[in-house]
């Protein structure tokens, strides 16, 4: 397996990070088996957060017993469990109590990568960064980063850390896939390239849309985030397929199917190969609700997307920009 650098750090991570939201799997024993199987396949990068009111972190903690040192473990902080006005802030109070709660649920004494799950407009950024730096100095956190930050806020955070001698962000999590390139490519990707931040791409398969299992005008498979019936999982969500899979997006899915047919690859493997063809990406975050889903992901990691197929996907997923008239 070709491991990749986590930004400009010396840390090497598997080319896929296992996401553990488990949106369509509520059996915790199955969730543990999924994580264990991913590690057996060479995955050393696991992402979690306060999904399912903390159940995700607890499941990860169970699965990592006896194997903790093999894993680069990522979790995130924004809202915390309980009542009170400070629970949804990134102030020092919430950060210090939140990390202790995560450590307890994860059954570990350190977190490799601790991310701010979203930007908090109510707390001064230097207060947040100083508290994170304290956690790094205490050894409870090894590296820090952010998720869902716009590029200029990441730049501000890097400037504050440089000016005040604080631990800097080493990576960011952002949604990036063939259906949604615009949040990353124009500003975030050049910034990360320039300053050496790794990008963890979440929803790389657009919540399953890029697997080819969901098509425009067809009834979605049951018990998925796109089905009209009940969806059960540690962190269940439901979305509207007819709104997400318009004609433009369905053409992208069809292109993935066509390329997969030409190269004997599943559409999901093609979509992941397209993401990994971007050197700024440290790893896409991929969820799996069954062990066999892990196999489909890892079976395709050694395959590289041919240049002409990369260009085809770039072209079909390029959205027209607003025209300048002056």
Ordered by where they begin, the domains of the chain are 4-317 (3.20.20.100)
**pTM of the predicted model as reported, rounded to 2 decimal places:** 0.93
- Give the tens place of pLDDT for each residue, 54-93: 899 999 999 999 999 999 999 999 867 667 777 778 999 9
Report CA-CA distances (Å) from 72 to 11, 64, 66.
9, 11, 14
51 is a catalytic site residue = yes
Mean pLDDT of the 15-37 span:
94
Q: Is 47 in contact with 200 (CB distance < 8 Å)?
A: yes
- 74 Cβ neighbours under 8 A, 6+ residues apart: 17, 45, 46, 47, 48, 111, 112, 113, 114, 115, 200
pLDDT at 25: 87
Mapped onto helix, strand or coil, the DSSP state of residue 174 is strand
At 233, the pLDDT band (50, 70, 90 cuts) reads low
Catalytic residue chosen out of the listed positions 51, 114, 143, 202: 51
Query: What is the rounded distance in angstroms from the CA atom of residue 295 to the CA atom of residue 37?
Result: 9
Indicate if the pLDDT at residue 324 is higher than 70: no
Query: What is the rounded distance in angstroms from the CA atom of residue 300 to the CA atom of residue 266?
Result: 8
Report the chain's mean pLDDT, rounded to a whole number: 92
């Amino acid at each position: 397996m070709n491991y990749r650098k986590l930004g400009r750090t010396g840390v090497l991570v598997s080319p896929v990070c296992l996401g553990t939201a488990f949106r369509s799997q509520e059996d915790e024993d199955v969730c543990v088996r999924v994580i264990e199987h991913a590690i057996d396949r060479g995955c050393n990068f696991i992402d979690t957060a306060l999904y399912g009111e903390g159940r995700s972190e607890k499941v990860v903690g169970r699965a990592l017993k006896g194997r903790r040192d093999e894993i680069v473990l990522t979790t995130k902080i924004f809202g915390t469990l309980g009542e009170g006005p400070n629970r949804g802030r990134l102030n020092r109070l919430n950060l210090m109590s939140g990390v202790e709660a995560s450590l307890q649920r994860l059954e570990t004494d350190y977190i490799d990568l601790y991310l701010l799950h979203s930007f908090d407009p109510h707390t001064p950024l230097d207060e947040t960064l100083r508290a994170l730096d304290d956690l790094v100095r205490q050894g409870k956190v090894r590296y820090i980063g952010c998720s869902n930050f716009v590029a200029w806020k990441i730049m501000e955070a890097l400037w504050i850390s440089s000016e005040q001698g604080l631990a800097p962000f080493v990576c960011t999590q952002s949604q990036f896939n063939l259906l949604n390139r615009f949040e990353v490519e124009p500003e975030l990707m050049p910034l990360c390239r320039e300053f050496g931040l790794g990008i963890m791409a979440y929803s790389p398969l657009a919540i399953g849309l890029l697997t080819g299992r969901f098509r425009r005008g067809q009834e979605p498979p049951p018990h998925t985030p796109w089905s009209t019936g009940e969806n059960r999982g540690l962190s269940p969500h439901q979305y509207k397929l007819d709104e997400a899979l318009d004609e433009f997006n369905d053409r992208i899915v069809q292109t993935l199917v066509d390329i997969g047919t030409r190269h004997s690859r599943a559409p999901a493997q093609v979509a992941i190969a397209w993401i990994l063809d971007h050197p700024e990406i440290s790893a896409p975050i991929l969820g799996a609700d069954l062990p066999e889903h892990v196999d489909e992901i890892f079976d395709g990691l050694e395959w590289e997307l041919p240049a002409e197929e990369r260009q085809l996907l770039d072209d079909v997923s390029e959205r027209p920009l607003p025209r300048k008239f002056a």
